Structure 1
Amino acid sequence: MTALDIELQSVTKSYGAVPVVRDLSLSVPRGEFVSILGPSGCGKTTTLNMIAGFASPSSGDIRIRGKSQVRVSPEHRNIGLVFQNYALFPHMTVAENVGFGLKMRKVPKIEVAGRIAEALESVHLLGYAERYPRELSGGQQQRVALARAIAPRPSVLLLDEPLSNLDLKLREAMRIELKEIQAALGMTFVYVTHDQEEAMAMSDRIVVMWGGEIAQEGRPGEIYRNPKSRFVADFIGRSNLIPFSSWKASLHGTEVMLDHSGLTLISAKKKVTPETGFICIRPENLHLMTEADALSASVNRLSGRLRRIVDLGAQLELTVELAPGLSVAHVLTSSQADDLPELGAVLHMVVAPEDVQLLSH
């Protein structure tokens, strides 16, 4: 028996002459929480719909637990589905909503009550069986939708932006609950979202899509620290993305000249290709220093004028102008606010060569 719950093998989906998903291959091991992340129109929902059976691939194969699903209808794929609009029946109780899928699958009546209780217990709603959806909060309704999806004990659960209708605080709470539920069930979750924070908080692995293709996949921290392209660096977290005009090998790695500024920086990365044209520095990897300490640093000294301070509560976001038309963002904790100079003052910073990423366009 295969250890993979889902396999997409060279899957392409076109509508007429327009390809929406291009030659996509993806394997999802059993019990993994995978998020498919990307902007609107990148092909992530189409990919989910093909796994669910709501759309057929133009070419390629989709396998669930080793068996091809291309000619299998959605109701026979043994998958659970959770959508952003919940789709609860308002005239049914919580228990009746959760049991609906079981009845459609003709689960023996003697089993139904136990399955409903089991599903509600897994989402912490065991005492809500006789309530109606209108008597529940948005988060509770979402958990009912989740219970309904897992009650039939599917092989995998597909979730299409299920938290997008919730307010920020509730979304953050539900992220934690969803991950805890998934871990307790040991079930494979495939989660589609455009929210990178959501994906980072919950996923074992993130698949970043762009233009119908996989731009990068890996563990959240790995993608954040080592983006492969300008798009991924810009989409995952906050980045300082700066084009460079020329480069040369140096003792410490690769020295690049930043466009239109005369400034140079050294990256510890040594692989430069014709497609490489940007550096990426995460704002937290710029370190403020006194002028004396900055001058004593051997490489990657930067100086510029403080042009803006945005107070985000726990953090301060600074904009520092290094040269005309070239500014970088830097973040500090709010506890460091008292040490900041006035706007227009010169700040001195350093960045380690290993924190200067070289990226393709």
Structure 2
Amino acid sequence: MSSIDIELVSVSKSFGAISVVKDISLQIPQGEFVSILGPSGCGKTTTLNMIAGFNQPSFGDIRIRGRSQGRVPPERRNIGLVFQNYALFPHMTVADNVGFGLKMKGAARSEIESGVASALRSVHLEDYGARYPRELSGGQQQRVALARAIAPRPSVLLLDEPLSNLDLKLREAMRLELKELQQQLGMTFVYVTHDQEEAMAMSDRIVVMWQGAIAQTGGPASIYRHPASSFVADFIGKSNILTIEGTSEQEATLDLHLAGSAISLRAKRPPHRQQAGFCCIRPEDIAVLNNTGPGGGGVNRLSGTVRRVINLGPSLELAVEIDPHVVLTVLTRSSLSASLPVMGDVVALSIDPDDIQVLPE
């Protein structure tokens, strides 16, 4: 049996003249938590629906455990589904909802009871079997939907933005529970979301989609620290994306001349020779210097005027104008300075060349 749970081979999907998914290939090993991440309309839900069998690819093939699914209906793919709106049956108890999939498979009564009990224990709702969905909170309903999906023990669980209807604190709590559940079950999870924080917090691997294609695939840390394009850099976390109008090569570095200004920044030379169109600097990688702080060695030391201050509690987000056409977003810990910057202050900044990512597009 294949160690790859899901494989997409040159998959495309069009609706009439509109191309929604464009020639994507992807392998998802057993037991991996993969998030398909991207803005609305990028093709991520269409991709999930093709894996589930609700839509058929226009071109290409989808394989589950090595077997092509071209003629396999959704109910025979051994896949669990969790939707954004939970889709619980309001007239059924929690236990009946959770046991529905097993019942449809023709499982014996003892097997259904055992499966329901096990699934409810997995989501910490073992005492809620006799209740109805209307008697539960949003978070509890989401757990019931999860229990229903895992009760038949599918090989893969597909989740389509399942936390989007929950409030912020509950979403954050459910992220941890989902990841713990996935690790406990050892099941392959494919999670669709437009929320990059969700994807970063839970995933073993992230697939970033844009305009129907895969823009980048990798671990959360790799995608955050080494984005492949200005789109990925801007979509994953906060970034300063600066346009480069020219470069000067040094022995191990690259001097980047910023468009519309007289400012140049020194960056570590990319491992592969490429045209430098943009550079990405994360706000937390820009140091705010003070009179007693390090001098910065003169490399990428800048001066600018604070135009905006947003107090985030443990940190401050500053907008610092270093040129009439260049404003940097800077994130600094509130506790690092005795006197916090205010609007109008002139501050010194320093950027390590290693923290400047050169991007081709």
TM range (shorter): over 0.9
Q: Which residue of 1 is the match for residue 233 of structure 2?
A: 233
Q: Which residue of 2 is the match for residue 189 of structure 1?
A: 189
Alpha-carbon distance in 1 for matches of 2:166, 2:293: 47
3-state SS of 2:159 partner: strand
Alpha-carbon distance in 2 for matches of 1:296, 1:16: 57
Q: Which residue of 2 is the match for residue 174 of structure 1?
A: 174
Q: Which residue of 1 is the match for residue 38 of structure 2?
A: 38
Deviations for 1:43-71, whole angstroms, at most 9, x for unmatched residues?
A: 00000000000000001110000100011
3-state SS of 1:313 partner: coil
Structure 1 outlier segments of 4+, above 4 Å: 291-296
Q: Structure 1 residues 101, 248: closer, same or farther in 2, change over 3 A?
A: same
Q: Which residue of 1 is the match for residue 103 of structure 2?
A: 103
Alpha-carbon distance in 1 for matches of 2:137, 2:314: 29
How many percent of aligned residue pairs carry the same amino acid? Answer: 62
Deviations for 1:273-325, whole angstroms, at most 9, x for unmatched residues?
A: 34x31110000000111368675614111111111101122221001000002
Alpha-carbon distance in 1 for matches of 2:50, 2:330: 42
Task: Indicate if the aligned counterparts of 1:6 and 1:28 stay in contact, CA closer than 8 A.
Answer: yes
Q: Which residue of 2 is the match for residue 154 of structure 1?
A: 154
Task: Indicate if the aligned counterparts of 1:150 and 1:157 stay in contact, CA closer than 8 A.
Answer: yes
Deviations for 1:167-204, whole angstroms, at most 9, x for unmatched residues?
A: 00000000000000000000000000000000000000
3-state SS of 2:36 partner: strand
Residue 341 of structure 1 deviates from its aligned partner by 3.8
Alpha-carbon distance in 1 for matches of 2:33, 2:351: 34
What one-letter code is carried by the residue in structure 2 that aligns with 1:21? V
Q: Structure 1 residues 93, 266: closer, same or farther in 2, change over 3 A?
A: same
Alpha-carbon distance in 2 for matches of 1:296, 1:136: 56
Q: Which residue of 2 is the match for residue 223 of structure 1?
A: 223
Task: Indicate if the aligned counterparts of 1:306 and 1:320 stay in contact, CA closer than 8 A.
Answer: yes
Deviations for 1:117-167, whole angstroms, at most 9, x for unmatched residues?
A: 011111111111111111111111000000000111111000000000000
Task: Indicate if the aligned counterparts of 1:88 and 1:97 stay in contact, CA closer than 8 A.
Answer: yes
Alpha-carbon distance in 1 for matches of 2:55, 2:359: 35
Is 1:139 matched with 2:139?
yes
- Comparing 175-184 with 130-139, greater Cα deviation is found at 130-139
Q: Which residue of 2 is the match for residue 262 of structure 1?
A: 262
Task: Indicate if the aligned counterparts of 1:32 and 1:189 stay in contact, CA closer than 8 A.
Answer: yes
Is 1:334 matched with 2:339?
no
Task: Indicate if the aligned counterparts of 1:86 and 1:142 stay in contact, CA closer than 8 A.
Answer: yes
Residue 250 of structure 1 deviates from its aligned partner by 1.1
Superposition map of 1:1-361 within 5 A = 1-270=1-270, 271-274=272-275, 276-290=276-290, 297-336=297-336, 338-361=338-361
Residue 101 of structure 1 deviates from its aligned partner by 1.0
Task: Indicate if the aligned counterparts of 1:97 and 1:148 stay in contact, CA closer than 8 A.
Answer: yes
3-state SS of 2:46 partner: helix
What one-letter code is carried by the residue in structure 1 that aligns with 2:274? T
Residue 244 of structure 1 deviates from its aligned partner by 1.0
Residue 345 of structure 1 deviates from its aligned partner by 2.0
Once superposed, what is the RMSD of the aligned Cα atoms? 1.4
Alpha-carbon distance in 1 for matches of 2:73, 2:209: 26
- Comparing 252-261 with 185-194, greater Cα deviation is found at 252-261
- Comparing 106-115 with 291-300, greater Cα deviation is found at 291-300
Alpha-carbon distance in 1 for matches of 2:7, 2:336: 49
Alpha-carbon distance in 2 for matches of 1:232, 1:220: 12
- Comparing 222-231 with 99-108, greater Cα deviation is found at 99-108
Task: Indicate if the aligned counterparts of 1:272 and 1:358 stay in contact, CA closer than 8 A.
Answer: no
3-state SS of 2:112 partner: helix
Q: Structure 1 residues 50, 345: closer, same or farther in 2, change over 3 A?
A: same
Residue 79 of structure 1 deviates from its aligned partner by 0.2
The number of residues matched between the two structures is 360
Q: Provide structure 1 residue ranges, at least 5 long, that are not aligned to the other structure.
A: none
Task: Indicate if the aligned counterparts of 1:294 and 1:350 stay in contact, CA closer than 8 A.
Answer: no
Alpha-carbon distance in 1 for matches of 2:101, 2:204: 28
